[in-house]
Amino acid sequence: MIVSGLHKGKAFKWAALAGAVLFVVYLLWPVGTLFPDDYSRVVTDRYGNILRVTLARDGQLRFAQESDKLPEKYVKAVTMMEDRRFFHHPGIDPFSIINSFVCNIRTGKRVRGASTITMQVVRLSNPRKRTYLNKVIECITATRLTIQKSKDEILKLYATHAPMGGNVAGIYSASRYYFGKPLDEITWAEAALFAVLPNNPSMINIKKQRSELKIKRDRLIRTLLVKGIIDSTTYALSVDEPLPPVKSRLHFEAPHFAELALRSTERNLIQTTLDLKKQRDVENIIRRYCRSYRDYGVANMAALVIDNNTSEVVAYIGSQDYDDTISSGRVDGVMALRSSGSLLKPLLVGRALDRGPWVIQSKVQDVPSYYGTFSPSNASGEFQGMVTIEQMLIQSLNVPAVRLLYHYGQADFYQDLKQMGVSTLFRSADGYGLSIILGGAEVRLWDMCRIYSALGNEGLIRPVRMFDGMEKENDSSRVCSPGASWLILSSLSKLDRPENEKYGHLFSDQIPVAWKTGTSYGQKDAWAVGVNRQWTVGVWVGNFSGEGNPFLGGAVSAGPVMFTIFRQLTAITKPLWFDCPEYDLKRTSVCSATGYLPGPACPQTTTVLTPSQAWKTQQCPWHRKVVIDRQTGYELCSRCWDGKEKKDTVLLVYPAASAEILRKKGFAADIMPSHLSSCTAVRKKKSNISIEYPTDGITVFIPRSLDESYQQVVCKASSQTESSLLWYLDGKFLGETHDFHNMAILCNPGKHILSVFDNEGGEKRVNFRVVGRNTIVKNGD
CB within 8 Å of 398: residues ≥ 6 apart: 342, 376, 377, 378, 379, 437, 438
| 508: helix, strand or coil | helix
Q: Measured from the CB atom, is 104 or 605 closer to Zn ion?
A: 605
Bond prior to 357 in cis (omega within 30° of 0): yes
Cα→Cα distances 219→28, 196, 253, 473, Å? 39, 10, 37, 56
CA angle 439, 461, 542 (to 5 degrees): 30
By CB under 5 A, which span of 9-17, 507-515, 582-590, 678-686 interacts with Zn ion? 678-686
Nearer residue to Zn ion within complex by CB, 274 or 640: 640
Shortest CB 632 distance to Zn ion, Å: 12
Looking at 314-322, 347-355, 616-624, 708-716, which segment touches Zn ion (CB under 5 A)? 616-624
Select from 117-125, 315-323, 626-634, 679-687 the region that touches Zn ion (CB under 5 A). Answer: 679-687
Strands 732-738 and 369-371: parallel
Candidate residues 197, 614, 620, 756; the one interacting with Zn ion per rule CB under 5 A: 620
Residue of 556, 584, 549 lying closest to 499 (CA atoms): 556
Residue 597 corresponds to which amino acid?
L
- Least distance to Zn ion, CB of residue 586, Å: 20
Q: C-beta of 496: minimal distance to Zn ion in Å?
A: 29
CA distance 301 to 287: 9
> Cβ of residue 553: shortest distance to Zn ion, in angstroms?
37
Which amino acid is residue 592, in one-letter code?
Answer: S
CA distance 724 to 722: 6
Residue type, 370: Y
Q: Is 7 or 639 the residue whose CB approaches Zn ion more closely?
A: 639
Q: Report the residue from 216, 623, 624, 741 that binds Zn ion according to the rule CB under 5 A.
A: 623
Residues near 442 by beta carbon (within 8 Å), at least 6 away in sequence: 337, 338, 339, 340, 424
546 vs 633, beta carbon nearer Zn ion: 633
The C-alpha atoms of residue 111 and residue 109 are separated, in whole angstroms, by 6
The only residue of 681, 714, 771, 777 in contact with Zn ion, by rule CB under 5 A: 681
Using CB under 5 A as the binding rule, whether residue 576 contacts Zn ion is answered as no
Residue 637 is a binding residue for Zn ion (CB under 5 A) = yes
- How many residues make contact with Zn ion (CB under 5 A)? 10
Alpha helices by DSSP H, 527-675: 559-569, 656-664
CB of 610 to Zn ion, least distance (A): 16
Query: Looking at 190-198, 297-305, 622-630, 762-770, which segment touches Zn ion (CB under 5 A)?
Result: 622-630
Q: Closer to Zn ion at the Cβ: 260 or 651?
A: 651
Q: Give the nearer residue to Zn ion in terms of CB position, either 268 or 649.
A: 649
Cβ neighbour number for residue 706 with a 10 Å cutoff: 5
Closer by beta carbon to Zn ion, 239 or else 637:
637
Give the nearer residue to Zn ion in terms of CB position, either 480 or 597.
597
Q: Which span (58-66, 243-251, 390-398, 590-598) binds Zn ion, by CB under 5 A? A: 590-598
Alpha-carbon distances, residue 136 vs 131, 133, 572 (angstroms): 9, 5, 69
94 vs 600, beta carbon nearer Zn ion: 600
Residue 602 interacts with Zn ion (CB under 5 A): yes or no: yes
Task: Write the binding mask 706 to 745 for Zn ion: x where contact by CB under 5 A, - elsewhere.
Answer: ----------------------------------------
SS in 3 state form for 107-145?
A: HCCCCCCCCCHHHHHHHHHCCCCCCHHHHHHHHHHHHHH
The reply on whether position 627 binds Zn ion by CB under 5 A is no
Binding mask 639-658 for Zn ion (x = CB under 5 A): xx------------------
Which span sits near Zn ion by CB under 5 A: 18-26, 296-304, 513-521, 681-689? 681-689
**What type of residue sits at position 6?**
L
Q: Of 389-397, 431-439, 525-533, 614-622, which segment contacts Zn ion by CB under 5 A?
A: 614-622
Rounded distance, CA 44 to CA 175, Å? 14
Give the nearer residue to Zn ion in terms of CB position, either 46 or 623: 623
In the complex, minimum distance from the CB of residue 595 to Zn ion, in angstroms, rounded to a whole number: 9
Distance CA(144)–CA(124), nearest Å, equals 16
Query: Applying CB under 5 A, which part among 46-54, 180-188, 554-562, 632-640 lies near Zn ion?
Result: 632-640
Handedness of CA 351, 357, 359, 364 (dihedral sign): negative
Cβ(594)–Cβ(622) below 8 Å: yes
Q: Which range in 141-149, 166-174, 463-471, 602-610 contacts Zn ion by CB under 5 A?
A: 602-610
Min dist. Cβ of residue 630 to Zn ion (A): 15
Residue 591 as a binder of Zn ion (CB under 5 A): the answer is: yes
d(CA 190, CA 85): 22
Q: φ and ψ at 271, to 5 degrees?
A: -85, 110
Selected from 679, 700, 702, 744, the binder of Zn ion by CB under 5 A is 679
Whichever of 111 and 681 has its CB closer to Zn ion, that residue is 681
Contacting positions for Zn ion (CB under 5 A) = 591, 594, 602, 620, 623, 637, 639-640, 679, 681
